[in-house]
Amino acid sequence: MLIKRAPMFKASEITDDRLYLNRREFMAGAAALALAPSIVSAGAAASAPDGKALQSTKNEKFSIPDKPTPFKDATTYNNFYEFGMDKEDPSKYAHLLKPRPWSVQVDGLVHKPRRFDVEEILRFPLEERVYSLRCVEAWSMVIPWIGFPLANLLKQVEPMGTAKFVEFTTLKDPEQFPGQKPSFFGGSAVEWPYVEGLRLDEAMHPLTLVTVGMYGQVLPNQNGAPIRIVVPWKYGFKSGKSIVRMRLTEEQPKTAWEKAAPQEYGFYSNVNPTVDHPRWSQATERRIGEFMRRKTLMFNGYADQVASLYAGMDLKKNY
């Protein structure tokens, strides 16, 4: 039987995840000893950036000093359910996605709705910003993203006074995303297309990034090519990949994960170590590549910059 509305992750997967990483570390150790080099090098993904280079200016003010996660981990350990539900699926099937031609429709409650071609989006002044991405599964990575503030793009379409939210929609095309096929093995956990959303003030916050690259190159397909959103103070699933539409609305958008499991994945999904997921703790995280778990920080370390957006809100209710 296909379980159509399965919650995002089973508690057992969280455990498997740790075992998997320990196995990888063991393999890496074995490689260092030259015991199993052929096995370690068998993966399809490159160990160093090998895509098209992308120029950008480093924004130190908006970067954390942490050491970036190895490129190979950031491109082979992914959540992108359009390609399948296993961490290896996105890098395995990423070649099916065609990131050109591509455009993003920006419409809804705006005075100047329009379509942006990807080449035009690449002409915005690009910055490199090192952010950590904290997944709701309690692991994190540090990634040098390349992009620009979403506010710069939204200003061009002139949001109306009635606009309160932005809805982000990912491409729906089962030919490019095998995980969207009705016949997909195991069924899918979410309804397609993948939809995410932010309140307009969150969307306009200078930390919220339209992202077109990472590690000095264009975004690899498995990381959301050619255009994704990155919202560093929220759990990773708020950062929708391969975006084709941004729609400004008065009503709060219905997000894919809220529809799939509302008691587990709320609209806000701010990183908050004091609010556990119903099936596991959010107090600590495993930084990919590190051995010890670290304490998770409120708003993923951005409390000074973003806490004021939620003044007066009960963050336990608005999880």
Residue 30 CB, shortest distance to ligand MTE, in Å, is 25
Residue 219 CB, shortest distance to ligand MTE, in Å, is 8
Closest CA to 264 of 301, 235, 244, 240: 235
End-to-end CA distance of the chain: 32
The entry of ligand MTE, Mo ion, none near residue 81 (CB within 5 to 8 angstroms by kind) is ligand MTE
Strands 284-287 and 294-295: antiparallel
Residue 19 CB, shortest distance to Mo ion, in Å, is 18
Strands 195-199 and 209-214: unpaired
How far, in Å, are 42, 198, 208, 211 from residue 169 at the CA level? 35, 12, 16, 15
Helix (H) or strand (E) holding 196: strand 195-199
DSSP 316: T
Q: Which is nearer to Mo ion, 54 or 134 (CB)?
A: 134
Residue of this chain nearest to ligand MTE (CB atom):
236
Residue 164 CB, shortest distance to Mo ion, in Å, is 25
CB half-sphere exposure, 240, CA atoms < 13 A: 23
| Residues at the interface with Mo ion (CB under 5 A) | 79, 135-136, 236-237
Query: CB-based contacts of 263: which residues, under 8 Å, 6+ apart?
Result: 278
- What are the backbone angles phi and psi of residue 168, rounded to the nearest 5°? -115, 125
Closest CA to 231 of 261, 262, 209: 209
Q: Which is nearer to Mo ion, 193 or 236 (CB)?
A: 236
Q: Which is nearer to ligand MTE, 39 or 46 (CB)?
A: 46
Query: CB-based contacts of 259: which residues, under 8 Å, 6+ apart?
Result: 190, 191
Note whether 194 and 169 are within 8 A (CB).
Answer: yes
Residue 81 CB, shortest distance to ligand MTE, in Å, is 4
The entry of ligand MTE, Mo ion, none near residue 80 (CB within 5 to 8 angstroms by kind) is ligand MTE
| Residues at the interface with ligand MTE (CB under 6 A) | 78-82, 133, 135, 141, 170, 194, 223-224, 236-237, 239-242
Q: Which is nearer to ligand MTE, 31 or 63 (CB)?
A: 63
Residue 72 CB, shortest distance to ligand MTE, in Å, is 13
CA distance 87 to 89: 6
Residue 45 CB, shortest distance to ligand MTE, in Å, is 12
Note whether 183 and 151 are within 8 A (CB).
Answer: no
Q: Which is nearer to ligand MTE, 56 or 170 (CB)?
A: 170
Q: Which is nearer to Mo ion, 20 or 124 (CB)?
A: 20
Q: Which is nearer to Mo ion, 85 or 210 (CB)?
A: 85
